[in-house]
């Protein structure tokens, strides 16, 4: 099950997103040792988790968090332009049709086989979301090993500059072009999967 959450001024109040923030803490703080804010010892949130963020969350049959990603508008402050502009050889990509993928998170409790399948569901959901919303470009910052995997998915993707060392990690920035051909390009590598219709949660009118 895919859930899209957007325009939520208090994302921690949403039950699905609380599960996501807990999973982010287990991955990015407990496992990867990132120095990022943690609320109540359970939830990983930063300054970009506001009403402008869009969340794609893959949930299991019991509603549990399996995977998630956060999308940030590039016409507003975001991670690449705020924290890592040096990773771009030229200007940081910005625009109404450009979004930054951040906090791509696969739940630590998944088996290796299930992890791969869920990763593919989330990548496919990101493509479907872009095609539905008129998003033409995704950007992102990734650790070098993960960056290499993303570049090898088969979609139109390229680095934005040379990788660089930040706080003991080698990071790189990338640009992903999204078009009607992207699902077929990913399907050639067994990545794209047709998702069912997503549930969407928005701020009450």
pLDDT digits (tens, 9 = 90+) for 130-188: 999 999 999 999 999 999 999 999 999 999 999 999 988 999 999 999 999 999 999 99
Domains of the chain: 2-200 (3.40.630.30)
On average, the pLDDT of the chain sits at 93
Residue 200 pLDDT = 55
Q: What is the mean pLDDT of residues 28-54?
A: 94
Per DSSP bridges, beta strands 156-159 and 169-177 are antiparallel
Identify the pLDDT of residue 37.
Answer: 93
Torsion 200-134-99-102 (CA) sign: positive
Predicted local confidence at residue 168, as pLDDT: 87
pLDDT band at 46 (very low <50, low <70, confident <90, very high): very high
């Amino acid at each position: 099950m895919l859930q899209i959450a957007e325009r939520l001024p208090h994302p921690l109040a949403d039950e699905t997103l609380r599960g996501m923030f807990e999973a982010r803490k287990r991955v990015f703080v407990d496992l990867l040792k990132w120095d990022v804010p943690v609320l109540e010892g359970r939830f990983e949130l930063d300054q970009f988790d506001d009403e402008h963020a869009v969340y794609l969350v893959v949930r299991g049959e019991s509603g549990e968090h399996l995977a998630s990603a956060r999308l940030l508008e590039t016409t507003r402050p975001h991670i690449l332009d705020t924290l890592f502009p040096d990773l771009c050889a030229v200007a940081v990509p910005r625009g109404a049709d450009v979004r930054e993928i951040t906090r791509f998170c696969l739940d630590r409790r998944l088996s290796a086989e299930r992890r791969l399948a869920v990763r593919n569901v989330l990548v496919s959901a990101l493509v479907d979301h872009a095609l539905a919303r008129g998003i033409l470009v995704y950007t992102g910052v990734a650790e070098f090993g993960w960056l290499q995997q993303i570049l090898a998915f088969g979609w139109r993707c390229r680095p934005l500059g040379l990788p660089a060392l930040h706080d003991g990690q080698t990071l790189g920035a990338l640009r992903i072009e999204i078009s009607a051909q992207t699902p077929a390009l990913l399907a050639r590598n067994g990545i794209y999967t047709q998702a069912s219709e997503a549930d969407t949660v928005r701020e009450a009118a």
